[in-house]
Amino acid sequence: MATTGPGKPVSASTARGGHEGHGGSGAGAPARRSTIRDVARQAGVSVATVSRVLADNYPVTHTTRAKVLRAVRQLDYVANAHAKALAGTGVETIALVLDDITWSAFAQIGAGVEQEAARRGRLCLVCTTQGDRQRELAVVNLMREQHAAAVILVGGIQYTTEYRERMSRFARSLDSVGSRLVLCGRPPLADDLPATVVEYDNEGGAYGATAHLLSLGHRRILFVGAQEGQSTADGRLSGYRGALADYRVAAAPELEREGLFLRDAGLRAVREALREQVAFTAVFAATDMVALGALEGLREAGLRVPDDVSLIGYDDIPMANELTPRLTTVHVPYQELGRTAARLVLDRRDGVGGAEDRTRLSTHVVVRGSTAPPAPGPR
């Protein structure tokens, strides 16, 4: 007996010949789904009635409703989301675009977005770009096709003129189809562009981290993870510089080390600085991942943290609190960032009054065990 078949035989379907119960059992065979018409026929009512019962937005006799619901159950019917979408109803979806979901900060942002979206009945489409800006472009267009209610772009970028122009195009392009561009942890665009921005106090966190080291007495602080033009790196670097300036400590080019936000960059930068005999008593790593590499670099040189050299990171990834010593770092409320991004854009969409389209969450230093006053001796 056919698995999905109803109790009593169904009269010949409209068109396509009757598949057997197991629809897609064959490789990729497009199954014959039951449609609202099947349900209507089975229940002996019209499609409109079925629609009404299912939407539950219109008066329907108790008995009719029962008949319909029974038919639905018998046929294991679910509505076709695409048809609903086309007809104007249908669940909205939010698109989330990020480099790599395995990076802790991104995963947290993603979790925040997804939770808030789900809470408000939206679906969440996730696309990763592995840092490929070309793919980002393709993805945004794809999302425009998908009628995504919003497209949330996550994470810092190479901040160029070309980039700004592309984003402006994205913003307008999405706006023109009723969608919305959201920049999360990314610098804002021109004020007149239709986009929502959710930032965190990137520079302030770096300022705080540096000030923490300075107030401990450090004067030679190695900054690791500078990246010319990368928005996040630039913000952190300028927070570092700003604090130095406020403490009347001269900046030194040899203390600002280039490097990506990866563990390996931290390792290499510290090794090089050591090899070049650059004097420093503390390391400010632009991310916790970089700090991990720096830690290894220090250790392989026989330097203890924090006794010989202090180390501070940025991001406060869960791992930070598990290291030995526990890593002092800058806490960024990533999950909250994601949640806020979703909230703002959905508030605006749901017509909630006073929905802002620009927010900045604050960051703060979390002092743990990897920072201490500089050792009195040399270095």
Partner DNA sequence: CTGAAAGCGCTAACAA
Partner DNA sequence: TTGTTAGCGCTTTCAG
Q: Is the Cβ of residue 57 or residue 102 nearer to a copy of itself in the bound state?
A: 102
> Using the rule CB under 7 A, which residue among 11, 14, 134, 277 binds DNA?
14
- 73 is a site residue for DNA (CB under 7 A): no
Instruction: Name the β-bridge partners of 369.
Output: none
Q: Which residues contact 13 (CB under 8 A, 6 or more apart)?
A: 32, 38
Q: How many residues bind a copy of itself (CB under 8 A)?
A: 70
Map the footprint of DNA across residues 22-51, applying CB under 7 A.
Answer: 33, 35-37, 44-49, 51
Q: Which of 19, 41, 52, 263 binds DNA (CB under 7 A)?
A: 52
Please select the residue that binds a copy of itself; options are 101, 274, 361, 367, rule is CB under 8 A: 101
Given the complex with a copy of itself, which of 125 and 252 has the nearer CB atom? 125
Nearer CB in complex with a copy of itself: 29/245: 29
Tell me which residues in 307-366 interact with a copy of itself (CB under 8 A). 318-319, 322-324, 335, 348-351, 355
Position among 66, 91, 190, 279 found at the interface with a copy of itself (CB under 8 A): 91
CA-closest candidate to residue 263, choices 293, 232, 226, 227: 293
For residue 123, state whether it binds a copy of itself (rule: CB under 8 A).
yes
| Helix-, strand-, coil-residue percentages of the chain, each rounded to 5 | 45, 15, 40
Contact 230/99 with Cβ under 8 angstroms? no
Which helix (H) or strand (E) covers residue 57, if one does? none
Tell me, by CB under 7 A, how many residues bind DNA: 32
Binding of a copy of itself at residue 168 (CB under 8 A)?
Answer: no
For DNA, the binding residue among 28, 88, 253, 376 (CB under 7 A) is 88
Please report how close the Cβ of residue 350 comes to DNA at its closest, in angstroms: 16
Residue pair 331/323 in contact by the 8 Å Cβ criterion: no
Taking the C-alpha atoms of 13, 15, 21 and 26 in order, what is their torsion angle to the nearest 10 degrees? 180
Helix axis angle for 36-43 and 47-55, nearest 10°, is 100
Is 122 within 8 Å of 152 (Cβ atoms)? no
The stretch among 167-175, 183-191, 211-219, 264-272 that binds a copy of itself (CB under 8 A) is 167-175
Which residues, in sequence order, are CB contacts of 337 under 8 Å at separation 6+?
A: 108, 109, 112, 184, 185, 198, 200, 361
Considering only residues 145 to 164 of the shown chain, the ones binding a copy of itself according to CB under 8 A are 145-147
Q: Does 12 bind DNA (CB under 7 A)?
A: no
The residue to which tokens 């990137």 are assigned:
202
Contacts with DNA by CB under 7 A lie at 14-15, 33, 35-37, 44-49, 51-52, 54-55, 57-61, 63-65, 79-80, 83-84, 86-89
